[in-house]
A and B are shown apart, each in its own frame.
Chain A
Amino acid sequence: MHGEIMIIEASGLIIDLDLQYINQFKNIENYKVLKKPNFYLKSINESIQYQYKKLEIKTAFYHLYDTNLGKLQIQYNDNIPIGEILYQDKTIIIIPLIKEFNIEYLLSQYAFVYWIRKYTNGIFIHSSSINYLNNGILFCAKSGTGKSTQRRIWEQYGNAICINDDKNVLIFNGKDIEISPNPWSGKHFKNTNLKTKLKSIVFLKQAKENKVEDISKAKAFNMLLNQIQLPSKENEETWNKNIDNLLELPIVLFECNMDKEAFITLKKELEKRGVFDEIKG
């Protein structure tokens, strides 16, 4: 039943990936490495018998329990349990209750994001990212606003490369912020294993005419809050510093349409703000 066990490097984590539907995981081979893993992600077929101790978190999407075997997350879709995630520190076991690749993919992504918060100096951010002449740009917006559309326009007219179309990890080294690639990238499975320095964040809003507006740090933070991974007890201090460094970047609100003009306008406005400076110099 199981696919091949694969060792991958994703956002700096070396993960032993033992998934049932790995053959359907597009682009995963691009992250393969010959390194000793530190993290173990295993997908199993049968549910485990737990002794429940306490319900700790209850949201519309999941319940989190403390159990005798570790923290257990039960994932729901329209009140139907679709999968379980058992967190045992650097080993995470996932159990797709609906036997489909999509469910396993979702559960494995949760595991990955958990490790990012716990074991890296990184922040996960819901966004689409591109590498344009070695400059990293993040497109941020609520789902359905057009992140992938702007990404596509930049690929088409600027020969930009998509780093990750939906799930980006930013790794912080002081003011140097890197978009650190990983294979989990939402419904389009669009990602490239290409580390890129982050130079700017662009919030998107659909409009008829293209217009770029600078926004305050407070406004940018408020907009980011819906898209980023929040701090934990362990990383509160570094998270705080990382956010301050992130807010030092040029951040704009881009009211845009889906035409070539959107690319031309944004490119010109980012140029004005020095986003591509190192390339010129």
Chain B
Amino acid sequence: MVVAEHWWAVVIFALIMTLAWLFIEERVTTTALLAGASWSFAALTGGNLTRYEVSNAEVVTYNLSVGYVQYIAVFLALLSFLVLLLYRFGLYPPEEDDPYQGDPA
């Protein structure tokens, strides 16, 4: 069982890693692998999160689920792993394929 705040911290980390392989395109192996593993963790544990709140001087425990957000996490995990594989085989990032590039003005 994962504390909700910890789960969101993992999601933010996964998001940063995803943005890193998407835009920075440096250390893609590391960022894509960390993004894939973090999204996988988020997808697999998002159904049973715990939140602790203090009410009337007592700690109350709540169980909650992020529901369909888990599917988004699965998608991003698979996407990150796919990028990892494509990058290792030299297929990511794609070549610039702008049809107007090089055209005379």
Q: Do A and B come from one complex?
A: no
